[in-house]
Structure 1
């Protein structure tokens, strides 16, 4: 394990590592073995589609399928061991930092993948902005313990400088060389990866990043898992670091989307009946894209949600001020108290619908159409959300205020399977 000499760093401490990558000669194609992050894979259909795309698809490591937790984790560990032994996956010869690019015509995003020294929230180096669910941390921790690997990078953002030099200059130089890999995934995104192995360039990147703090854009549960596993191992060790992608959003702004809720046990009719007198409810006779536009317009004026699952779309907005005063905690900043996610959880889920925030009651789904389809197929209620602005997220995080879990979806997210970090190398 290369620790690149720990210095007195007060900001981001990113070190090179020997990335583990697919051998393109041993798989059906790099696009066929990658996957969205584990929590974005739509199950079961998306999982089955990924598993069938190639026998070595990374989803077999991040979402192993077996009857028990222990069996799933052991299966992932055995699969990783087998693929390394067969040469399907192999470590790069030299430690490096990796420049990673995603491009889909409208969006160009570039960043640096490396192993980041873990820091406590009180240090203010890495800022979380969402609460987390203990059962997800348990699940991810068990998988990481079994595989002793970081299988997918977190997405972190920082605000870089406009001057020459530093990480952005290294990125600009790297992209003029032949990439280690180049592939286009099914979602239309083109992915390219370069390794930066020159010690002087690595030092330039590290020096630049050491002056910055980062916001967790995607991967709060994996970050909490990293911290838990670090606490289980004596330092110094490879567990002091975690795999991340760092993107300078001053240069490459991220797209912010909402994460929707699916309420398994609440039919739409019951959900709507409970809102009489406390919210305005309007049924929209239009297709989903138009309904989402209407939601966006309503959300610009105040709290608004779109309920679906009965073949129609129901816009829910204008909550009773008295109801909000009774149900939303008053000991938080105004920006937090007026979040749609805050009102959804504190007012609707906790007070009006009395729904526990547990997996058997609520599913968190990134894809709008998939959320609606699931509700219509199973008879529950889809609660569609409008995304919050990045500056609101960052301002709350700097105040040390976390938003309700799964409040935002920043993207584009790094494809899982482009580069892994095996703690043995």
Structure 2
């Protein structure tokens, strides 16, 4: 593992690593062994679908199934060791940075995967924008600790300035890729290795001028920092696997993450609002209801409640109620976030629901949130996304948003390249 030199800038320090990759001849197909990030695979049927796609699907490492947490993590470590011994996974011959491309649904995204030197929020190099849940960090830390591996890259963004990093990426994608596959969502994925010393130096110098925003992976970043503290420095644990995207060239989509209130029926949720919000029933399909939600957010906080076969638009909160329930010691941009009002005013004050996994599920897919609410007799609270500029501005102020406030995408496919700390 390369170390930071004395003349390094106080910016991103991305270093090559020997990527672990599936051996194509040992699996049914590369598409069949990939998965969305662990926190997107939320439904048991989705997990079963991935496990059934190929006996070596990466979900068996990132979401191993067993009765206890300790058994799950040990099972993942044993599985990883077995796949390495059997040649299902194999390390690349030399350290590299990897150019990663995704395309589909009108999006072209290119970035660089590497091992990023860790930094705390106070250092201002990598900026988180969301709070994290301690139990999730503990689970991810136990998995990483047991497997001694970074199994999936975090998604980080930076605002490039047209320096040599972009030129290296654009030149690299004209070569033959290490791998190319199309996943079942229709996205095409390609991966290239950068091993030329001159190109590596160019990328390193260019990235050292920038800070990054965590777009996806706050819990895994918090996990990286926790595990770094457990190991003497320097060590491979001082670095974590990331994908860096220059959003000046390749903008991401920002989507909302919806809430499923597992034990609160829609009728009870509406009754508890009283006169605190304006409530209107929205007729028609889910897409039409989401359009109504988007229109309502231009006038302030708005939410769409679903789960009993109907849609209700909830907006125009009582200003006095907001003044009483939303903390006043944060910037106005934070105080007016939908997620802030949802958690401080609705969940805490009106619905009295603790932010506990048994009470609240976080679901990225709109249709899945509604379907699960109907199945469980609960309430789906559908959200409108926050603009990236708001997220970045708050992060630069050191202000974190309520957890699961945003979903940046497209997210990198899990399983295309892994990092074993034993190899660094």
> If the TM-score is normalised by the length of the shorter chain, which range does it land in?
over 0.9
Counterparts in 2 of 1:10-25, with a 5 A limit?
Answer: 10-25=10-25
CA distance in 2, matches of 1:36, 1:251: 24
Q: What residue ranges of structure 2 are gaps of 5+ in the alignment?
A: none
Offset at 1:105?
4.6
Q: What residue ranges of structure 1 are gaps of 5+ in the alignment?
A: none
8 Å CA contact 2:4, 2:13 repeated in 1? no
- Please name the residue that 2:2 is paired with: 3
CA distance in 1, matches of 2:35, 2:298: 34
8 Å CA contact 2:10, 2:209 repeated in 1? yes
- Please name the residue that 1:61 is paired with: 61
- Please name the residue that 1:158 is paired with: 158
- Please name the residue that 1:420 is paired with: 418
Q: Show CA shifts across 1:304-347 (max 9, x none).
A: 00001100111000000010000001111100000000000000
8 Å CA contact 1:33, 1:57 repeated in 2? yes
- Please name the residue that 2:302 is paired with: 304
1:366 aligns with 2:353: no
- Match 2:184 to one of 159, 183, 186: 186
1:228 aligns with 2:226: yes
Q: Show CA shifts across 1:216-261 (max 9, x none).
A: 0000000000000000000000000000000000000000000000
C-alpha RMSD of the superposition: 0.8
Which aligned runs of 4 or more in structure 1 are off by greater than 3 angstroms? 4-7
8 Å CA contact 1:309, 1:380 repeated in 2? yes
- Match 1:377 to one of 357, 375, 378: 375
TM-score, with length taken from structure 1 = 0.98
Counterparts in 2 of 1:41-120, with a 5 A limit?
Answer: 41-120=41-120
TM-score, with length taken from structure 2 = 0.99
8 Å CA contact 1:148, 1:424 repeated in 2? yes
SS across alignment from 1:274: helix
Q: Show CA shifts across 1:342-396 (max 9, x none).
A: 0000000000000000101100011111000000001011000000000000000
Counterparts in 2 of 1:25-424, with a 5 A limit?
Answer: 25-162=25-162, 165-424=163-422
Q: Show CA shifts across 1:66-121 (max 9, x none).
A: 00000000000000000001110000001000000000050000000000000011
SS across alignment from 1:382: strand
Offset at 1:5?
5.4
Offset at 1:6?
3.7
CA distance in 1, matches of 2:165, 2:33: 29
SS across alignment from 1:60: helix
